Amino acid sequence: MSASASSDGRARPYVPDAVETPRMPATPRHALPPLACDAHCHVFGPYERFPLQHPSSYAAPDAPAGRYLRMLDTLGAVRGVLVQPAPYGTEPAALLDALAQGGDRLRGIAVADPSVSDAQLQALSEGGVRGLRFVEARDPAGNLFPGSVGFDQVAALAPRMKRHGLHAQLWAPCDTYLRHLSELAKLDLPLVIDHLGSLAPARGAEDPVFQLLRGLLAEGRLWMKLTVCRVGAAPGYENARFIHDAFVAANPDQVLWGSDWPFVRMGAQAPAADALVDLAYEWLGSDALRRKVWVENPARLYGFD
């Protein structure tokens, strides 16, 4: 992929030279409960309408809203939450278009920095956005991935996020949370942690990051997304089960399930979303817990009717 520069030196939006067709699921063996929600997916494209704003560090998926909605339907998920990916930067057009296509069955997580206006925040909220994503992943030179807004911007945005009913969704390498979470938890702003906190299962239950996340979750000071495919070892993810089960036990009212479709950076190793549904169904173990994780918790956090 290549991007040209404008007269002021900034990269112009661009269409990827090639795209990757994401893996589509089959119907899961286990039926999701009514009004189930897949709380973590992304849409990309159509690129002629919604070009990327920043160079992507991964193959661009061919994952427009129509394909995403078919994926949800195949899983049996009535509801979904879309997270704006970094290559779109702070440009929400693709996200808002997908939310409009999905109607009341979808909610969104956008990206904004402190330069965003109150009118823009209001428009995001009215378009179905319920949170802003902050990413603290950096390259070897210490620079944030292009299109990301770092954790150091959360505090500046927090008062206006509260007024507009927006929470903060956080993604970072696991040790980064040790440096930031204690202060972020003082902002009186709902915090949602991506991908089981990016924990390393080999570090075990004594890992201080695991202990920190579990403690804050137990106190109700954050929410956790149970996206095991980003932490565990395929195909069974059994090495991550102790993390999953500990977080669910710590606070079953503030955990969420997400597939992470279309599985960027995973290529041929991308899992089947239906297999992830079946795995979660078995690990959760009871209909009451399944309903909490797939229906009640996302309905409360994202404002589904």
Q: What is the pLDDT of residue 11?
A: 61
Average pLDDT over the chain reads: 94
CB 248 within 8 A of CB 226: yes
Q: What is the pLDDT of residue 239?
A: 97
**Cis ω for the linkage preceding 201 (within 30 of 0):** no
**Which tokens go with 111?**
């990206």
The phi, psi pair for 80, rounded to 5°, reads -155, 155
- Domains, the chain, ranges and CATH? 33-302 (3.20.20.140)
Q: What is the pLDDT of residue 256?
A: 98
Closest listed residue to residue 154, CA positions, set 126, 182, 127: 182
pLDDT in tens, 69-96: 999 999 999 999 999 999 999 999 999 9
pLDDT in tens, 100-148: 999 999 999 999 999 999 999 999 999 999 999 999 988 788 888 889 9
- CA atoms of 96 and 102, how far apart (whole Å): 10
- CA atoms of 230 and 251, how far apart (whole Å): 21
Among the listed ranges 2-6, 209-213, 220-224, which one has the minimum average pLDDT value?
2-6
Decide: pTM greater than 0.75.
yes
pLDDT in tens, 135-165: 998 878 888 888 999 999 999 999 999 999 9
For the beta sheet containing 191-193, the strands, ordered from the edge strand earlier in sequence to the opposite edge, are 37-41, 79-83, 106-110, 129-135, 167-171, 191-193, 223-225, 255-256
145 contact partners, CB below 8 Å, separation of at least 6 = 57, 86, 135, 137, 138, 139
pLDDT in tens, 3-42: 444 434 456 788 888 899 999 999 999 999 999 999 999 9
Q: What is the pLDDT of residue 10?
A: 53
Among the listed ranges 94-98, 140-144, 188-192, 223-227, which one has the minimum average pLDDT value?
140-144
pLDDT-above-90 percentage for the chain:
87
